Structure 1
Amino acid sequence: MASEPINPIGAHVPVAGGLATGGLRYAAEIGAEAVQVFVSNPRGWARAAGKPDEDQRLREYGEEHDLPVFVHAPYLINLGSPSPETIANSVASIRHALQRGAAIGARGVVVHTGSAVSQPREDAMRQLREHLRPLLDEIPDDGPDLLLEPMAGQGAMLCATVQDLGPYLDAVDRHPRAGVCLDTCHAFAAGHDLTAPGGVAEMLDALAETAGADRLKLIHANDSKDPCGSRKDRHENIGAGLIGAAPFAELFRHPVSRGVPLVIETPGRSAEPHRADVEALKKLRDG
């Protein structure tokens, strides 16, 4: 079995034609060493059953080729919402994503950390404990971790900077199955100046201190269309935005991110820009 790259670099891949049929074809086309997929409509509550043959093929391929596989849960999920209907759908969607992730051999399921919307933050955090803690307990030993993705800081977001991960993890008793997915565009928009000298190291040091060095399981590698502290979540291709290429090179040199897979979620409706982004990150990693 081939050894895993120091930091596998891949992408969120489209799965038209099937998780394995479409997803692995696209991964091969862009040279991805890791993949992230949706297992249901990312902008709806419908929860697809999946196709057992596609699930098995993806799981077996991932095991045979040391291909890290991740699931991104639907965007609508928000356990901080004041709406009981949103809470119920969020719980069901997280549970579904974790079950589907287990079926395809995923290492983690990424979920956005949510917003208090119109209610007090304290109430939203109590809801988080009430509903997320039991879901973490349900994860089997061989199931995927639940990866918390801090947001860009817009609105009443519960978690944006890496320091915000402390109270968030405290709300679920620092559960061992709660990991972190760090999005570089989100972090930059939330105020972490990755372009400043030592900015990347400062952010990752703070993540290790706040959340624990071993909780970082995935990095969404995205450049940003907007400046640091903008609180705007607009991704750009690697090196074409206001973060630039150099901070991504620093990611590969820090002990907290050593061995952590990176996947791009960059603009483009064809393989070409994604292939270029993957290649750019590989050059930064291997240079």
Structure 2
Amino acid sequence: MTASQLIGGHVLVSGGLATGGLRYAADIGAEMIQVFVTNPRGWALPAGNPAEDAKLRESGMPVYVHAAYLVNFGSPTQATLDNSVAVVRHTLRRGAEIGALGVVVHTGSAVSQPREDAMRQLREHLLPLLDEIGDDGPDLLLEPMAGQGQMLCATVQDIGPYLEALDHHPKAGICLDTCHAFSAGHDLSTPAGVTETFDALGEVAPGRLKLIHANDSKDPCGSKKDRHENIGAGHIGAQAFADIMRHPVAAGVPLCIETPGKADKHREDIETLKKLRGR
């Protein structure tokens, strides 16, 4: 390996978190993986399987967890807010049990309430969860969104106020999704756009970038649409990912695909990224 980035993907699990996840990882050539530990579209809090947890911990595979999509600390609906707290707390605990390096959570939306009220909620309910994470626990990785609706954090410039609301907590990191950033208005399709975006990220959140979701985009820059495409098949283009991997802010940061398709397409996307990395 001639570059420091690990390249992997969100794995489809069948037959146990470790058994199925590691099998899929091997099939697609992943050097790191991301998994769900709950239903991504529900609020249930399933217990783990201690044998599978141990197998995943002992595998040596770098693991990240993605929290449920329904999580929204900016929601004006009390039930959503309460469930968000419960799910993220559970997901952080499960992440610790499997030895995860980070837990990814979407940065949320104000929906129908004033932005300042949503940001106060964020501080009130998410900051205590960050305080609960032990020194050896996974970082909580904030994932900016594509900018649709009343999103609380979409552009790189939005990250500063978001981190400020959380007192720049040491366990708060960033997961940058390339499709989201592109759709929010950062033109990653050009070398100048990559440099501008990652320079800005290094200024507003120095040392905070912990994971990159490497996804091409079905829609043009600034569309505010979150529709992932396979690497090189969308509006961002393959070369952008080589430019990203060469930027100093991305040094040592894993790239994780969340692209369409199943094993054959995922294997192809990972192979493309490895070639762009220089293997």
Q: Shorter-chain TM-score category?
A: over 0.9
Task: Say what the alpha-carbon RMSD is for the aligned residues.
Answer: 1.1
Q: Does the alignment pair 1:275 with 2:272?
A: no
SS in structure 1 of the partner of residue 173 of structure 2: strand
Tell me the alpha carbon deviations over residues 15-65 of structure 1, each in whole angstroms, 9 at most, x when there is no partner.
111111000000000100010000010000001101000000001102xxx
1:220 alignment counterpart: 213
Q: Does the alignment pair 1:105 with 2:99?
A: yes
1:40 alignment counterpart: 38
TM superposition shift of 1:4: 10
Answer yes or no: is the 8 Å Cα contact 2:157–2:204 preserved in 1.
Answer: yes
SS in structure 1 of the partner of residue 59 of structure 2: helix
**What is the rounded CA distance, in whole Å, between the counterparts of 1:83 and 1:226 in structure 2?**
31
1:165 alignment counterpart: 159
**1:106-255 counterparts in 2 under 5 A?**
106-212=100-206, 214-255=207-248
CA gap 1:114/1:4 in 2 versus in 1, 3 angstroms: farther
CA gap 1:4/1:244 in 2 versus in 1, 3 angstroms: closer
**1:25-36 counterparts in 2 under 5 A?**
25-36=23-34
**What is the rounded CA distance, in whole Å, between the counterparts of 1:178 and 1:10 in structure 2?**
22
2:62 alignment counterpart: 68
Identity %: 73
Letter in 2 for 1:41: N
Q: Normalising by structure 1, what TM-score?
A: 0.96
**What is the rounded CA distance, in whole Å, between the counterparts of 1:17 and 1:114 in structure 2?**
32
Deviating runs (4+, > 6 A) in structure 1? none
Tell me the alpha carbon deviations over residues 106-158 of structure 1, each in whole angstroms, 9 at most, x when there is no partner.
00000000000000000000000000100000001110000000000000000
Answer yes or no: is the 8 Å Cα contact 1:68–1:261 preserved in 2.
Answer: no
TM superposition shift of 1:68: 1.5
Answer yes or no: is the 8 Å Cα contact 1:153–1:159 preserved in 2.
Answer: yes
SS in structure 2 of the partner of residue 252 of structure 1: helix
TM superposition shift of 1:197: 3.7
TM superposition shift of 1:196: 2.7
SS in structure 1 of the partner of residue 104 of structure 2: strand
1:265 alignment counterpart: 258
Tell me the alpha carbon deviations over residues 88-120 of structure 1, each in whole angstroms, 9 at most, x when there is no partner.
000000000100000000000000000000000
**What is the rounded CA distance, in whole Å, between the counterparts of 1:5 and 1:32 in structure 2?**
15
Q: Normalising by structure 2, what TM-score?
A: 0.98
**What is the rounded CA distance, in whole Å, between the counterparts of 2:186 and 2:220 in structure 1?**
10
TM superposition shift of 1:255: 0.7
Q: Does the alignment pair 1:23 with 2:15?
A: no
Q: Does the alignment pair 1:80 with 2:78?
A: no
SS in structure 1 of the partner of residue 121 of structure 2: helix
CA gap 1:137/1:221 in 2 versus in 1, 3 angstroms: same
TM superposition shift of 1:256: 0.6
SS in structure 2 of the partner of residue 198 of structure 1: helix
**What is the rounded CA distance, in whole Å, between the counterparts of 1:196 and 1:263 in structure 2?**
21
**What is the rounded CA distance, in whole Å, between the counterparts of 1:217 and 1:68 in structure 2?**
12
**What is the rounded CA distance, in whole Å, between the counterparts of 2:34 and 2:3 in structure 1?**
17
2:48 alignment counterpart: 50
Tell me the alpha carbon deviations over residues 187-226 of structure 1, each in whole angstroms, 9 at most, x when there is no partner.
00000001134111110110111111x1000000000000
Higher alpha-carbon deviation: 195-204 or 237-246: 195-204
SS in structure 2 of the partner of residue 111 of structure 1: strand
Tell me the alpha carbon deviations over residues 149-183 of structure 1, each in whole angstroms, 9 at most, x when there is no partner.
00000000000001100000000000000000000
* Aligned positions, number: 279
